[in-house]
A and B are shown apart, each in its own frame.
Chain A
Amino acid sequence: MSWLRNPWGRPRWLLIITILYILWSILPVAIAVLFAFNDGRSRTTWQGFSMKWFTGSSGSVFHDPALQGALKHTLFLAVICVLIATPLGVALALGLQRWRGPGGGTINTVMLLPLVTPEIVMGVALLLLFLRVFPDIGVGTPAQAIGQVTFTLSYVVVIVRGRLTSIGPEYEEAAADLGAPPRDQLSRVVLPLLVPAIIASAAVAFALSIDDFVVTQYLSGNASTTTVSMLLYSSARGAPTPALNALATVALLITLATLALAFLVYRRFAGGGEAAAVAALEV
């Protein structure tokens, strides 16, 4: 590093700014996690370490019906979202990558639009759709799942297409030259090579679903369709105890563990090292 030679030159203060920025970006959340373990009802005064807001017999994440319900519903939606968005997105990526003739460009643009559409626009659009076009579905759990799939789909397609581009057509062509029928080329050559990307995209879909707020809130029906994010929004200002911090901490751990796992899998199987794995997750 050049600043070692000239420690008072420009890069030195850049390093200090960068480290201060990283502390600023992470420390508040770390403090919020710390207060989940507070041995008292305050979210601002430290009163000693305790697990009671996680496992205590009343008002804790694992015993309070409202907190527990929100956590369960969040995880349920995330699983449904992964199960629908991943196969749908992988198929769309494969189809688009090999699309010949007109139409492919248009579909590609439409596919990318959800990535740049502000969530409130999607929220309003889907709300009106379920109120006026599909009143039989209405708002509630199915609508929430459909809404989440609609915007996670694009992320899955982008990740899988990135991998398809880096694999290139050679393996398939070799399989074809060796006499493999098209179905075997797909199931025995392309799909196995895609496994890291499929796992990465499933993890991203899972994390996006857990962290989603706007679309999920717009399409929620009643109290039973409240998620962790919605609870954070509705009671962050008035929450009486650190149980809310504990709930957010559980959701955070699940998200980070999923992504860390996907990161390791991607690095292990896709090659290309850390940079490729980071690139796959930083959509």
Chain B
Amino acid sequence: MHSRWTWRLVALPGVVWLAVFFLVAFYAVIAVAFGNQDTLSQPVPFWNPLDWNVGYVLDVLRNFWHREQYLTVSIRTIEFVALSILLCLLVGYPVAYFTARHAGRWKGVFLLLLIVPFWINYLMRMLAWINLLAPNGWGTRVLHDIGIERVFIWTGLLSARGGWLDGQPSAVIIAFVYGYVPFLILPLVVALDRIDQRQIDAARDLGASPFSAFRRVTLPLSKVGILAGCVLVALPMFGDYYTPDLVSASTKTNLIGNQIDQFTRQGSQKVTGAVLTLFLSAFLLLLMFYYLRTTRAATRVADEE
């Protein structure tokens, strides 16, 4: 009997699981953020919206308004993420472009090589760089010998010789690029792969130079892939606390993730931590909304054409 209820029953355990451990869990963040704390500074959630206490939310807003710590950390986070994404695009676009459009029969091999970093533990990839950038590590020596270290010191991006892991914002941004660029490349490969070669040929036949054919045909057609890739790397970067902890371990590079981590997991300011988590989620939700609206508009335009 293929009744609709049979299949709903099959889906039920998974639906209940997601409801309890995802939806209720997220509601717990809201209930704690609008709750209170007991004398042992443990959070006391207020489940009923009618009981909500806005005190802690107002405290955080006041901190932002007076340009105190949370604002500093948030602005730093946005700067770091924006710079990292820009560098990810500079590194990732040529690689994705080559793999999608010029790799020929080697495409499968290149794709496989691009996927490998996905399946290497992120922390092991960071460990690799920590070993390389230690004061007498191989990476530090190479960077010194080929003169990159001197350029970084000269431009103020590195404060002392061999001090890559001593709280340098530049090291955190480079680690971000290394850690997340694979997630940006794959959606780009997919988007570039879908572009019809005939559209580019048409532009060339009509007299466009290779560069202007790229700028006016390929680049606009890959916009959806660029956006998707940027969102895919932005989301985990905004919640990252372990990368700055590992490659910098300095309060100078504290991001919003570090602030939340210190309040919730390590510390006893869980209510304030929950408020910040809520603010971060709201911000990322806006980002997702913008992304969905843009891609939907772009696909609609493509369909009409």
List residues of A whose CB falls within 8 A of some B CB: 1-3, 10-11, 14-15, 17-18, 21-22, 24-26, 28-29, 31-32, 35, 43-45, 88-89, 91-92, 94-96, 98-101, 107, 110-111, 113-114, 116-129, 131-133, 146-147, 149-150, 153, 157, 182, 207, 210-211, 213-214, 217-218, 228-229, 232-233, 236-237, 244-245, 248, 251-252, 255-256, 259, 274-275, 278, 281-282
Contacts and interface: CB of A to CB of B under 8 A. Distances in A.
B288 interface: yes
Contact of B14 (A89, A98, A101): A89
A199 B265 CA distance: 35
Main secondary structure of the interface of B (DSSP, over half): helix
B128 A32 contact: yes
A118 B236 contact: yes
Given A118-B239, A278-B108, A232 B124 contact: yes
Nearest to A87: B13
Contact of A11 (B1, B32, B102, B178): B102
A233 B21 contact: no
Interface size classification for chain B: 35 or more
Contact of A99 (B8, B128, B257): B8
Interface string B267-295: 00010011001001100100010000000
B117 A110 contact: no
Interface in B119-139: 119-132, 134, 136-139
A236 B130 CA distance: 7
B25 interface: yes
A96 B11 contact: yes
Contacts of A119: 236, 239
Contacts of A28: 125, 128-129, 132, 139, 178
A50 to B, nearest CB: 17
A213 B13 contact: no
Contact of B28 (A107, A116, A125): A125
B23 A110 contact: yes
Contact of B125 (A29, A35, A111, A237): A29
Contacts of B236: 118-119
Contacts of B44: 132
Interface stretch (B53-61, B91-99, B149-157): B91-99
A17 B93 CA distance: 10
B210 interface: yes
A41 B95 CA distance: 38
A214 B240 CA distance: 9
B160 interface: no
Contacts of B106: 1
